[in-house]
Chains A and B, each alone.
Chain A
């Protein structure tokens, strides 16, 4: 195989990885702030994907344009979920938290199955088969747009956390729960907000993902695992880390799929995960907990 093929695959992997990264960013916010092991993360993304597919097939609305509304819907969903169901579980042991979200995931996956049936659905945009030629590399248009949207969304979120009042309050909560309470922050509301933001990320990522893959009711679990791999590899508590981790995983997945058999590609992701957990548990960009 020529270098061109590798380059194309690598670029495709990076772009897909950006979308992975956005999804993982959502988990980083949730896991990093609320400290909940969100084992329904991928399932939440599949909800967003189905919404995107539905809007497209019914009204021909492009997923990229529907990005913001879908993110908004998931925001509300996430807020309600955290405030209504998950909040009491923050102090419960991890296996309880885990099972709560697993049960939720079961409900989501099977509800989607009932509503949409088992067949794969996809979004066929007008530019679905377009591509750009950038030097030696042939870039898939859908992936390029998705990747760009992912960067834009992540940048907006980053700005929010860096510069807005609420964003700083959330970071304070994450750093020091008791301290946050002491200075009068309404921690419960901030937790719900954080979960909602994480859900919004997932919503946006889901929209973009429909440009890249088909959706079936049971793709959720694999993405949940992937999100955890990315977040841990990139570094908990680091937003840039989530994106970086996403790119890294997207890249290794794509290349591994090319060099080895496609089905073995997730083995690499897990291999990376094990290495990170052992030797650099704070991830590439994360801060070591003191």
Chain B
């Protein structure tokens, strides 16, 4: 990164923010040495959710388009990379190069259909659900991905970490997803402060007024959808190589799409840090409940989810902007507008 870019990145950011972010980053960097294997996996889940939350946030928080079928982009990324690997031995990073355009094309189709035909708001959200369901059922019958029987990646015993083929121990995956999340954060920050970012915010706030100010809203909404799709597709590639098994029923499930939006909505839609904080809060909550329940010896299937749902209800009702904005104000690093 050039000096000019770094300057732009840091422009206007209060010093306190730097210190807080820096501390968090440092803690995350040394985490694998401090925590046990189980917690490391938890951290990977948190960062995965933070990453997908950021990606979704581009479409919703920035451009104001509510997507409830975002799992389709991750799913496409996962399957493209997995098929290329299992059938042709092509590594995940090359697979990513193939997955991104495919996810973008899918986003472009959905976006084009919706925006050209004036499908907005709740109807747009339902349209995205329909497409994701389509993918789920479609892939359930698709031979090349083994349909509903599932696609499995070979998990051989590796002597050392293989970054090129993403085969290795959890620590490697941890650093990959951490790097990706940090990168996503930086990219989002740059996007927000760019001309396109301003146009997105204008569209989110009031699309008619944005058009009256000369913004070609169709074009910029398309950019938002395709960029969001592209960023999300990497998550899919990661998912495929980390879990090593893909079932359409799980990958494209509406539950996945909902999981993607939980972080940002709890943390704060439209903010940069919201998705990250939201993921920590949610997964932290889930894990606390897990531990509490096993400590008490309670093994009731469904009990944990009920508590989880109630906590969600509470946060949604009590904190309309999410957890981050009031917290940022408390910490004195709030910059007012976004």
Which of the 9-residue segments A100-108, A162-170, A189-197 touches chain B? A100-108
A92/B320 contact (C-beta < 8 A), A106-B312, A107-B309, A277-B119 known: yes
Which of the 9-residue segments B121-129, B171-179, B233-241 touches chain A? B121-129
Are A104 and B309 in contact (CB-based, < 8 A)?
A: yes
| Residue of A106, A110, A225, A277 touching B127 (CB-CB under 8 A) | A277
Considering the complex, give the chain A residue whose CB is closest to the CB of B322: A96
Are B316 and A96 in contact (CB-based, < 8 A)?
A: yes
Count contacts on A: residues with CB < 8 A to the other chain: 42
Measured between beta carbons, the chain A residues less than 8 angstroms from B20 are none
Are B312 and A228 in contact (CB-based, < 8 A)?
A: no
Measured between beta carbons, the chain B residues less than 8 angstroms from A106 are 305-306, 308-309, 312
CA–CA, A146 to B114, complex, Å?
37
Shortest Cβ distance from residue A241 to the other chain B in the assembled complex, whole angstroms: 15
| Residue of B114, B126, B269, B320 touching A273 (CB-CB under 8 A) | B126
Shortest Cβ distance from residue A245 to the other chain B in the assembled complex, whole angstroms: 14
Q: 8 Å CB contacts to B: which residues of A223-271?
A: 225, 228-229, 232, 261, 263-264, 266-267, 270-271
CA–CA, A191 to B140, complex, Å?
41
A37/B122 contact (C-beta < 8 A), A110-B306, A263-B137 known: yes
Considering the complex, give the chain A residue whose CB is closest to the CB of B301: A113
Shortest Cβ distance from residue B133 to the other chain A in the assembled complex, whole angstroms: 5
Are A103 and B137 in contact (CB-based, < 8 A)?
A: no
A232/B123 contact (C-beta < 8 A), A95-B60, A111-B306, A225-B133 known: yes
Q: Is B88 engaged at the interface, CB distance under 8 Å to the other chain?
A: no
Q: 8 Å CB contacts to A: which residues of B126-143?
A: 126-127, 129-131, 133-134, 137-138, 140-141
Q: Is A1 engaged at the interface, CB distance under 8 Å to the other chain?
A: no
Measured between beta carbons, the chain B residues less than 8 angstroms from A99 are 261-262, 265, 312, 316
CA–CA, A85 to B302, complex, Å?
23
Shortest Cβ distance from residue B324 to the other chain A in the assembled complex, whole angstroms: 15
CA–CA, A103 to B114, complex, Å?
27
Are B127 and A266 in contact (CB-based, < 8 A)?
A: no
Considering the complex, give the chain A residue whose CB is closest to the CB of B60: A95
- Sorting the interface of chain B by its residue count into under 10, 10 to 19, 20 to 34 or 35 or more gives 35 or more
Shortest Cβ distance from residue B52 to the other chain A in the assembled complex, whole angstroms: 15
A266/B125 contact (C-beta < 8 A), A95-B261, A111-B302 known: no
Q: Is A134 engaged at the interface, CB distance under 8 Å to the other chain?
A: no
Q: Is B113 engaged at the interface, CB distance under 8 Å to the other chain?
A: yes
Q: Is B188 engaged at the interface, CB distance under 8 Å to the other chain?
A: no
CA–CA, A106 to B269, complex, Å?
21
A279/B117 contact (C-beta < 8 A), A266-B133, A270-B134 known: yes
Per-residue 0/1 for A74-108: is the Cβ within 8 Å of any B Cβ (1 yes, 0 no)? Answer: 00000000000100100011111011101111110
- The 22 sampled A-B contact pairs (Cβ below 8 Å) are A37-B122, A95-B60, A98-B66, A102-B258, A103-B309, A103-B310, A104-B309, A106-B305, A106-B306, A106-B309, A107-B305, A110-B303, A110-B309, A111-B302, A114-B300, A114-B306, A118-B301, A229-B130, A267-B138, A273-B126, A277-B123, A281-B117
Closest 4 CB pairs of A and B: A113-B302, A106-B309, A107-B309, A110-B302
Binding site for B on A (CB under 8 A): 37, 85, 88, 92-96, 98-100, 102-107, 109-111, 113-114, 118, 217, 221, 225, 228-229, 232, 261, 263-264, 266-267, 270-271, 273-274, 277-279, 281
